[in-house]
Amino acid sequence: MLKVVSTKQVRLGMFIQELKGAWIDHPFWKKAFKLEDPSDLKKLQASVIKEVVIDISKGLDIAELDAPIQAPTPPVIESPKVIESVSVALPKPVPISAAEEQAQAKKVINASKKAVASMFHDVRMGKAVNAEAATQMVDDIAASVDRNLGALISLVRLKNKDEYTYMHSVAVCALMVALAKELGLSEAETKQAGLAGLLHDIGKAGIPMEVLNKPGALTDEEFSLVKLHPQRGYELLQQANIIDSVALDVCLHHHEKINGTGYPKKLKADEISIFAKMGAVCDVYDAITSNRPYKEGWEPGISLQRMAQWTEHFDDRVFKAFVKSVGIYPIGSMVKLKSGRLAVVIDQSPKSLLSPIIKVFFSTKSKSRIKIELIDLSKPHEQDSIVGHENPSAWGINDINEIWSQYEIW
């Protein structure tokens, strides 16, 4: 039986079924667990969480001996509420600008990174994947994408080399959610896609970190080991009783290619599900745009151009939808304008994929920095326009990420 109790009533031995509040506001990544560590009890009671749901069939009930036995007028203590369901339908987020979403997106990213790291650690220690905690992460990531499609996706790309494995899972989750929406999938299918993205690389928990973070090229033996992660991840999810068919499918097949040269099954075109095709695109995009131990990430717009040439790797319909979801000029892309100035994309315009909101900062004529100017290229009076992508390194610009991520509210 489930009961809602105050955190002040919580004691060791209780089974916490749910923490009443946003998971990013409390110190635990797991949604349901038995409270056995005194330090965890202190963390809980010091947090902003005021109530929890306990399962008295799996742990202790609230203490009944705190009240005086023969008090003449005992205080009325409200009995814990017995509930049948703890799920709440949340209102759909109102769309906002990337600048406005940045702070919340950072909060979601940081909490998700810690949660995924803990999840990988638990798997390495032989513990099962916590499906409920993973689902909660997907909900918060999806909510951020709903508020602004590009803010979290662009910020999560700014991971350092050592945290790539964990942040990659968060990034692919967000990209899968955005792509599912672009493809017109249902809300349930979109959440399935997000969960699949979050768990797609869980098999890497069984690969030594020195291999995953190796700064140089992998040996044939090491690469063969890495290629085992889809099958290993599939097995781990089954062991954790995660029966979601989409999560299992994407975990096993996100490295398949439509020409049949992928792994582990060498599936071709129609043999690969729509979700696995989505996973393949999202996985590769985040991989090539991120800084890795052995290489620097490519600029987002240039990455899309190169991916468009890999026609035997991706499904055409899925890839085109992906480009629409992140933008022809994704946030963080450096572009050249008709005026000869260089700019970085800081947000998408709802009016046109070809006319994003940009931050102008460099003159190709004087080959020097100029006063920063924010321009919405979709406005009718704006005369300037984008003529193409530019590689920041070709102009000696090494701080492009810092330039676009320092948003200003319009």
According to the model, what pLDDT value does residue 401 have?
Answer: 87
**Are residues 162 and 122 in contact, defined by beta-carbon separation less than 8 angstroms?**
no
Give 344's pLDDT tier (boundaries 50, 70, 90): very high
User: Taking the CB of residue 77, how many other CB atoms lie within 10 A of it?
Assistant: 10
Residue 59 has pLDDT above 80, yes or no: yes
According to the model, what pLDDT value does residue 85 have?
Answer: 34
307: left (phi over 0), alpha (psi -120 to 50) or beta: alpha
According to the model, what pLDDT value does residue 91 have?
Answer: 56
Instruction: Name the average pLDDT for the chain.
Output: 86
From the list 304, 326, 404, the residue with the least C-alpha distance to 359 is 404
Take residue 196 and report the two structure tokens written for it.
């699949």
Three-state secondary-structure class, residue 137: helix
Distance CA 379, CA 67 (A): 68
**Are residues 264 and 252 in contact, defined by beta-carbon separation less than 8 angstroms?**
yes
Take residue 395 and report the two structure tokens written for it.
């102009």
Distance CA 24, CA 26 (A): 6
Span 183-239, pLDDT tens digits: 999 999 999 999 999 999 999 998 998 998 888 889 999 999 999 999 999 999 998
According to the model, what pLDDT value does residue 194 have?
Answer: 97
Residue 67 sits at φ, ψ, to 5 deg, of: -80, 145
Report which of residues 302 and 158 the model is more confident about: 302
Report which of residues 306 and 401 the model is more confident about: 306
Distance CA 72, CA 315 (A): 76
Q: For 320, how many CA atoms within 13 A lie in the half-sphere containing its CB?
A: 3
**Are residues 332 and 357 in contact, defined by beta-carbon separation less than 8 angstroms?**
no
According to the model, what pLDDT value does residue 92 have?
Answer: 61
Residue 133 has pLDDT above 80, yes or no: yes
* pTM score, whole prediction: 0.77
Residue 29 has pLDDT above 80, yes or no: no
Give 57's pLDDT tier (boundaries 50, 70, 90): confident
